[in-house]
Chains A and B, each alone.
Chain A
Amino acid sequence: MNRTAYDSVKTARGNDRPTGLDYIKEIFSEFFELHGDRRFADDPAVVGGIARLSGRPVTVIAIEKGHTVKERAARFFGAPGPEGYRKALRLMKQAEKFGRPVICFVDTSGAYCGVGAEERGQGQAIAENLMTMMGLSVPVIAVLIGEGGSGGALALAVADRVWMLENAIYSVISPEGCASILWKDAGKAGEAAACLKLTAQDAKAFGFAEEIISEEQLGQQPFYAELRRKLAEETEILLNTPDLKEKRYERFRAFGRSSL
């Protein structure tokens, strides 16, 4: 294994990887999509709804990138705007009301960057998600299936369990952005990627992710079946965990403490 961090970045961004909707279709049954944030619009970059996970009703939320160029453009390349985060927030609160576990599939290069998104409070939308997710009484599992781009990804990943695919990445800034700030040269993204420690293996070593999902059979039936089994098992465990909220707080509370 001589894969560099930047190889993972390229793999994570690959066009042919399964996207959020693929996971929903393959893992869950009776998926019924729910649209809109009830405030302004429906964000196509975030797909959410109710479904069954091995029989149990759950709320599932996924960032969808699309496969073809046309799909990708229609999904805003998987960059959620404030409406996307507010839709997710609405569905999570709904899940809490009905006691459904929440499962999020995260795959974004970052929150949408645009005038409208800023004017409708991109920062506020993310902040509200972070705070609300910290207080959710139902279990939350986040699976990072591709790119985990900064606050835009975190806004759906304040979870009791964070799992990452083998080649998924999770970073505070894109390696290109980091390289252009550090060395004024976006071409040095490879070096930046290594410095940022953004691979799933790094995230697990530091404790940001609990588990790494093997990509050996990525996109094939056994892969989804195994993920379904793991998700069902983990939701069961979390549903029987007392003081879930407390434990989630402690999970995030610990980050940075050890390094100080």
Chain B
Amino acid sequence: MVPMIYVSWKAGERMPILNFRRRPQNELERGGRSRARVDQTDPETTCPNCHRSMPVSSVWANKNVCPGCGHHYRTGARQRIRFLADEGSFQEMFSDIVSEDPLKFPGYTRKLAVVGAASNENEAVVCGTAAIGGQKCCLFVMEPQFMMGSMGAAVGERITRLFEYAAEGGLPVVGFTVSGGARMQEGLFSLMQMAKTSGAVLRHSEKGLLYLTVLTSPTTGGVTASFAMEGDIILAEPGATIGFAGARVVEQTTRKPLPKGFQTAESMLEHGFVDAIVPRNRQRKVIAGILRLHTGGVK
């Protein structure tokens, strides 16, 4: 504790200079309440990583990255496409392919309706064509708000069709993954999408075309074990959780504390499973550059 000399001061005045090293103990001492933002059109958000408060608009303006510490907030598919694709270049495809309930799984149809309304999407992946820095490509972006980007038959079908379209048209594929894995409610239909998408990736690859993935937080389970890890070039966002089994499951099974940084993008880089970690504000430039490096080689 810093020795404190007590000096009285009137409310509203600045704290006595001798007291400057003492950390405020509560909201009132900080003078927090009087400085609290009244502007409800721009509420404050607290960064889950550095705990700094800042207006939401400043985070948005920074591509959903904390301006203080660089924490990458989870980001919806449409927003990512806005960050990434050249303005007006994105043409959505296969949006009519939506999930059905092949197993008549209890509660699934209702759940689909609820997450559909909440996320404003009709499936956990958005596919289409786009230009990134002038480079035309096929693009898929998974949607965390839709059942945590889980892969059911519709997700698998959309991605498979995108790869088939890209193979036909000689286009590279850029994919952003975020997923809890295969969608339990569709049983084996979900599981088989891992093989199906892998087959489509292979066919695209055999044409000598580029497939670039960007793993964002979290990329786990059946998506990691299929098309997420099949890219020619695999990028990751800083701090992203990337793994196969969930960290909690691993901890419960092994009954040992997990090593520091377990299943982070950084440890995946260290162990040789991603090519580079690219922060969100550089992704557009980096991806455009890589796409450009792959033009001319393909006939």
Contacts and interface: CB of A to CB of B under 8 A. Distances in A.
Interface of A: 111, 113-115, 117-124, 126-128, 130-131, 133-135, 150-151, 154-155, 158, 170-173, 178, 181-182, 195-198, 203, 206, 208, 248-249, 252-253, 255-257, 259-260
B154 interface: yes
B262 A256 contact: no
Given A208-B192, A256-B196, A126 B225 contact: yes
Interface residues of B, number: 62
15 contacts: A115-B254, A121-B229, A121-B273, A122-B225, A123-B229, A131-B230, A151-B194, A154-B194, A171-B188, A172-B186, A195-B103, A195-B105, A196-B103, A257-B153, A260-B153
A118 B192 contact: no
Given A196-B187, A197-B188, A206-B188, A118 B199 contact: no
Contacts of A208: 188, 192
B97 interface: yes
A173 B195 contact: no
B296 interface: no
| Most A Cβ at <10 Å: residue of B103, B186, B244, B262 | B244
A111 B187 CA distance: 17
Interface string B212-233: 0000000011101111111000
Given A113-B253, A118-B244, A198-B187, A131 B201 contact: yes
Given A172-B187, A172-B190, A255-B189, A197 B244 contact: no
Contacts of B200: 253
A121 B245 contact: no
Contacts, number: 178
B119 interface: no
B273 A124 contact: yes
- Interface of chain A, helix or strand or loop or mixed? helix
A158 B222 contact: no
A90 B296 CA distance: 33
A117 to B, nearest CB: 8
A195 B106 contact: yes
B2 interface: no
Given A208-B192, A253-B199, A257-B157, A197 B253 contact: no
A218 B142 CA distance: 45
Given A121-B271, A123-B229, A127-B227, 5 more contacts: A114-B253, A195-B105, A198-B188, A249-B199, A256-B157
A231 B260 CA distance: 48
Nearest to A209: B188
| Most A Cβ at <10 Å: residue of B183, B206, B226, B249 | B226
B267 A255 contact: no
Given A128-B229, A253-B196, A113 B188 contact: no
A130 B222 CA distance: 11
Contacts of B97: 260
B132 to A, nearest CB: 24
B187 A197 contact: yes
B182 interface: yes
Contacts of B284: none
B275 interface: no
Nearest to B156: A256
Given A118-B244, A255-B153, A256-B189, A134 B199 contact: yes
Contacts of B198: 127, 130-131, 134, 158
B271 A130 contact: no
B184 A127 contact: no
B235 to A, nearest CB: 15
B193 interface: yes
Contact of A260 (B154, B229, B250, B267): B154
The 4 closest A-B pairs by CB, nearest first: A256-B153, A123-B224, A123-B244, A130-B198
B195 A134 contact: yes
A256 B271 contact: no
